Amino acid sequence: MKLVQLIGTELSKQKRSFLWLFLFIIPLGTTGAMLLDMVIRYDDYLFPNAQENGISSWEMLINENHGVLSWGLFLPVFVAVISAFIHQNESKVDNWKNLLSLPVTRGSVLLSKYLIILVFGWLLVLFNALGLILVGKLTGFPESVSFELFGRYVLFQFISLLAIAAIQNLLNVIMKNPIFPVVVAFVGMIVSGILMYQHQQIGKFFPFLYPYIAGDLGKFGFNPDIAISGGLIYGAIVFMVGLFVFNKKDIV
């Protein structure tokens, strides 16, 4: 069975899943929060402050979403929840056996899981960005939309999630209970907050912080290149570790 067919199978499993609801609720919540923020503070504080700092309203909005609302810190937790949805069917008795009874390799099965986690994670990032553009339009930002700015913002997050998706994929293979990987991501979010303020040199090597670094806020002096290189390197290494563990896993 080809990889494309496996991906199609994974997508079909999510047709009636709450995952799609999750993908819309989270960006809807962030969009509503940012719109309320703009209504309350844009004219009197945020716009004058943006002008004083020489940034556009769109840059200010991304800063508010990514930093103040902590989208960058919560994103790994959201991806962990997505991974739990993707792996929940295989967490049931004999589902791995049923899947591997098909003419597929373990590597292609694990890769299909990884790619599906990435696809849904990327959709979450994209929906959030589209929500921000809607907020700016409804608020009446005087500047035109900077698609280059949003393109970089989305792309850097996409790359940073290569590491997070690989970690969650590995954890769901190792741990039978899909809740535990979500707990790990939540703890990772807390540790990220600590490293961000107190131990920045260590934070450069902590993958759960990469989605935040990818926002390139500049507030804590992180270079987004860290998130890009880290996402690629951690993603490749952790996926290979996951493949080794999955091949050794006693399933059948």
User: Domain residue spans in the chain?
Assistant: 3-247
**Which pLDDT score is estimated for 235?**
96
CB of 214 closer than 8 Å to CB of 67 = no
Determine the residue type at 252.
V
pLDDT over 90 (residue 109)? no
d(CA 132, CA 72): 14
Identify the CA nearest to 121 among candidates 152, 153, 160. Answer: 160
pLDDT over 70 (residue 220)? no
Q: Of the ranges 57-66, 68-77, 144-153, 172-181, which one carries the lowest mean pLDDT score? A: 172-181
CB of 130 closer than 8 Å to CB of 201 = no
**Which pLDDT score is estimated for 203?**
78
CB atoms within 10 A of CB 47: 17
Q: Burial letters for 3-18: b for 16+ Cβ neighbours within 10 Å, e otherwise?
A: eeebbebbeebbeeee
Higher pLDDT among residues 115 and 91, named by residue? 115
pLDDT over 70 (residue 206)? yes
For the chain, give the mean pLDDT: 88
CB of 162 closer than 8 Å to CB of 179 = no
**Which pLDDT score is estimated for 210?**
94
**Which pLDDT score is estimated for 32?**
97
CB atoms within 10 A of CB 235: 24
Q: Of the ranges 44-48, 58-62, 129-133, 193-197, which one carries the lowest mean pLDDT score? A: 193-197
Confidence of residue 99 (pLDDT cuts 50, 70, 90): low
**Which pLDDT score is estimated for 178?**
82
Six-digit token string for 60: 């200010």
Q: Which helix (H) or strand (E) holds 144?
A: none
Percent of the chain with pLDDT over 70: 90
3-state secondary structure of 209: helix
- Stretch 221-243: mean pLDDT: 90
Six-digit token string for 200: 């920045």
Cα radius of gyration rounded to whole Å, the chain = 19
- Stretch 102-128: mean pLDDT: 90
CB of 232 closer than 8 Å to CB of 216 = no
d(CA 236, CA 121): 17
Model pTM score: 0.92
- Stretch 216-235: mean pLDDT: 80
Please give the torsion angle defined by the CA atoms of residues 138, 142, 148 and 154, in that order, rounded to the nearest 10 degrees: -30
For 42-61, the pLDDT digits (tens) are 999 999 999 998 999 999 99
